[in-house]
Amino acid sequence: MLDEIVHAVAEASGTDMNSILMVDEAAGELIHGAAIGLPEEYVQAIARVPIGGPRGGCCGTAAARGEVVIVQDMRTHPLWQPYLDLSERFGLRAVWSVPIVGREGRVLATFATYYREPYQPSSEQIELVKAYARHAAVAIENARLYEQLAVSEAKYRSIFENAVIGIYQSTPKGQILAANPTLAQMLGYESVEELLKVSAFDLYVDPADRRRWHDELERHGMFQGEIQRRRRDGSIIWTYALARVVRDATGRVLYYEGTLTDITEQKQAETALRVSEEKFSKAFRSSPDSITISTLADGRFLEVNESFLRATGYHREEVIGHTALELNLWARPEDRARVIQVLQDQQSVRNLECDLRTKSGEARVKLLSAEVIDLGGEPCMLAIINDITERKRAEEALRESEERYRTVTETATDAIITIDEDSRIVFANRAAEDIFGYTRAEMLGQSLTRLMPQYLRPVHQASLKRYLDTGERHVAWEAVELPGLHKSGKEIPLEISFGQFIKQGKPIFTAIIRDITERQRAEAERQVISEIIQGVNVTANLDELLHLIHQSLKKVIYAENCFVALYDRNTGMFNFPFFVDQYDTAPPPQKAGKSCTAYVFRTGRPLLITEEPFRQLVEQGEVELVGTSSPVWLGVPLTTPSETIGVLVVQHYEDKHAYTERDLELLTSVGGQIALAIERKRAEETLRESAMRLQALVGSIDEIVMEFDQEGTYLNIWTTNENLLVRPKAELLGHRAAEVLGEEFVRPFLE
């Protein structure tokens, strides 16, 4: 290939001594590629030439500089002094070298032309050789591609099979005189012979391109440019054409000679790039996000879109050409340093949160993404900036709201439970654990019916389904009193309020649940006390009162085994006016002794005792067993404001956990009211007995007995014969005797 290029250039330039030296980048040298007309010994002598430096000579210097180097006279030119003896030996006096530069700007080889006399090439010669050098560069690069394909042809064949150059000769009338197989293949013909039968005019898509091509050749003798060609099948390709006129000695045109390079893919890429650039330009201008392009080195703005200007409050002329630091955009300059560092390490930044200032100085929270791009060989930063200030504020407000909600739910004494439309528990607070006895882990994901008595579960499921189907509530959602089910199996009285919200399009229900056990108990206690107070008035005697008290106590405490022991200070004995028990009968009056009842009476303190504490009191000599033993015993003193009159006792023969400290407090509180009721009832009975005795006494006397207060008002009158009275008894009671009998008559009696 190199030999062909050397011969082609030699023929085109009319020279007979030429060489191509190839660049060996690893060695930093030029090595022999091809030569024509030069002595073999000379070719071998320059088979390796340093690139640049004092021994670079003409070709080495051209390769180093990347430009044409002309040694017009080897004897006097400083570049040729290291090789002067060599050139003198072979009769060489001048040389000039053209670097063959590849697409990426790298020197691939050098093309040198030698003369036996001092010589200065014309500009046309230089341009001609440069043109061939460009084709040579393509050929060299393609050759290297072919070499790579040879190493792994199966893998890379499709990539490189079209990287070829077509060569041809044609007449001014369009007859193709010669063409290489590559050109035939490029234009879709099966053979060169088939291509030679076609007119060159028919290969042009636009006849104007043919005229332009022809006019350039006629005017300048050369043509280079891009032209569309039509292939055999009618398809169109883009080619890069290089052509020259070959004339005879008289100047008559013999033929046109040129090359074609298929640049269709390059043109498609350029079109795609142009479309991409147009799309980018539209996106850049219309994007709601701020987009900037700035130099990576110092952050100087090259371009910004309207969204950036609106977001920052600057005018374009205030931004372009200035740096972000000059505009004081970075609230924290270290953020920019961090962005630059990430870009240098990774070539891109994704969603980096930072604070940027507006022109007014307001700091806004931004989400920045950036890429390193190349603009004219300078690394730049393309940044897309999304303002997330409002989102951050909303997130912060949401976090604060969630924190407040979490604080409320976790510190609330009421249970808060949330369920989905399938009645599955999705949230439960700490109070729910306390009320129902389950841990949150045990509740989450379970059906809410787990926290309900069995008989309420189908009712709940039916009600929930009906509501989801119709949207109609069939029960109140505020302060509904329903029983719940503790983990232990015990029912709990609850007050429940419901609420609903929509999450991701589905209904979610939240219940605020209050354990009203204590409230109901307090209400029951008040009711018991009220019944006891009223019982004093509605019962005829102490026995009826004690039975009424027992029935009331059974509403708030287990009292199937219950007795009242009243102490008689005259006899020092306990009487048992009320006694109910599963095993024992009411005992007769007995000395206080060392029973638990006597212990409570003696200490004046309530006592809740189980078997082990009872055993300890026995060992201490404080108490002894009286009656049937029970696992739990509860007694409270019956105390009036002035003294303790007895003891109220309840006990359970099976469940040692039947009574709690709360029951102890309840019975102690009620005990005071019971003591007052008993005292009042006993006083009434005593008064009634006294009245009966007095009535009996008066009934045996045939006289009048009158009772007055200090003012002389009739309080009571006893007589067996009302005829002895000056007026009927009913008219006298409540009136002063002086009004009836006169002051003079009454005074002696009052005095």
Nearest to 381 by CA among 295, 318, 461, 444: 295
- Model confidence at 63, in pLDDT bands (50, 70, 90)? very high
pLDDT value, residue 395: 83
Structure confidence by residue, pLDDT tens digits, 239-267: 999 999 999 888 899 999 999 999 999 88
Judged against a pLDDT cut of 80, whether residue 381 lies above it is answered with yes
**Assigned token pair, 507:** 């209904």
Structure confidence by residue, pLDDT tens digits, 285-344: 888 899 999 998 888 999 999 999 999 999 999 999 999 889 999 988 888 888 888 888
Type and span of the H or E element at 687: helix 661-698
Judged against a pLDDT cut of 80, whether residue 156 lies above it is answered with no
Whether residue 533 sits in one domain with residue 656: yes
| Packing angle of the helix pair 2-13, 123-151 (nearest 10 deg) | 170
**Assigned token pair, 709:** 């207060």
> Which positions ≥6 away from 713 have C-beta within 8 Å?
734, 735, 736, 737
User: DSSP of 260-311, one letter per residue?
Assistant: EEE-HHHHHHHHHHHHHHHHHHHHHHH-SSEEEEEETTT-BEEEE-HHHHHH
Structural domain count of the chain: 6
User: In the chain, what percentage of residues exceed pLDDT 70?
Assistant: 93
Query: CA 21, CA 30: separation in Å to the nearest integer?
Result: 6
Whether residue 611 sits in one domain with residue 566: yes
Q: Which range has the worst mean pLDDT, 30-39, 381-390, 402-411, 675-684?
A: 402-411
Indicate whether 351 belongs to any domain. yes
Indicate whether 694 belongs to any domain. no
- Model confidence at 206, in pLDDT bands (50, 70, 90)? very high
Judged against a pLDDT cut of 70, whether residue 155 lies above it is answered with no
Nearest to 111 by CA among 192, 208, 184, 8: 8
Range of the domain at 585: 520-687
pLDDT value, residue 120: 94
Question: What dihedral angle (degrees, nearest 10) is formed by the CA atoms of 172, 173, 174, 178?
Answer: -70
Whether residue 718 sits in one domain with residue 670: no
Enter the DSSP assignment of 721: -
CATH of the domain at 343: 3.30.450.20
pLDDT value, residue 698: 56
Contacts 24+ apart (CB under 8 A), 328-335: 328/357, 329/356, 329/357, 330/354, 330/355, 330/356, 330/357, 331/355, 331/356, 331/357, 331/363
Whether residue 243 sits in one domain with residue 194: yes
Structure confidence by residue, pLDDT tens digits, 666-710: 899 888 888 888 888 888 877 777 667 666 655 555 567 777 776
* Residues comprising the chain, all counted: 751
pLDDT value, residue 59: 94
CB atoms inside a 10 Å sphere around CB 708 = 16
Whether residue 668 sits in one domain with residue 549: yes
The last residue of one of the domains, among 362, 392, 422, is 392
Structure confidence by residue, pLDDT tens digits, 579-628: 999 999 999 999 988 899 999 999 999 999 999 999 999 999 999 988 88
Whether residue 608 sits in one domain with residue 464: no
Burial class (CB in 10 A: 0-12, 13-18, 19+), 192: middle
Whether residue 643 sits in one domain with residue 577: yes
**Assigned token pair, 102:** 């590849």
pLDDT value, residue 694: 60
Indicate whether 158 belongs to any domain. no
pLDDT value, residue 160: 26
Query: CA 153, CA 160: separation in Å to the nearest integer?
Result: 9
Structure confidence by residue, pLDDT tens digits, 90-144: 999 999 999 999 888 899 999 999 999 999 999 888 998 888 888 888 888 887 7
Indicate whether 713 belongs to any domain. yes
User: In the chain, what percentage of residues exceed pLDDT 90?
Assistant: 50
Structure confidence by residue, pLDDT tens digits, 442-458: 999 999 999 999 999 99
pLDDT value, residue 738: 76
Mean pLDDT for the chain overall = 87
Query: CA 515, CA 413: separation in Å to the nearest integer?
Result: 9
Structure confidence by residue, pLDDT tens digits, 510-549: 999 999 888 887 887 888 888 888 877 788 888 888 999 8
Max CA distance (Å), the chain: 190
CB 287 within 8 A of CB 192: no
Indicate whether 692 belongs to any domain. no
CB 149 within 8 A of CB 243: no
CB 137 within 8 A of CB 110: no
More confident residue, 156 or 241: 241
Which residues pair with residue 75 across a beta bridge?
Answer: none
Whether residue 678 sits in one domain with residue 535: yes
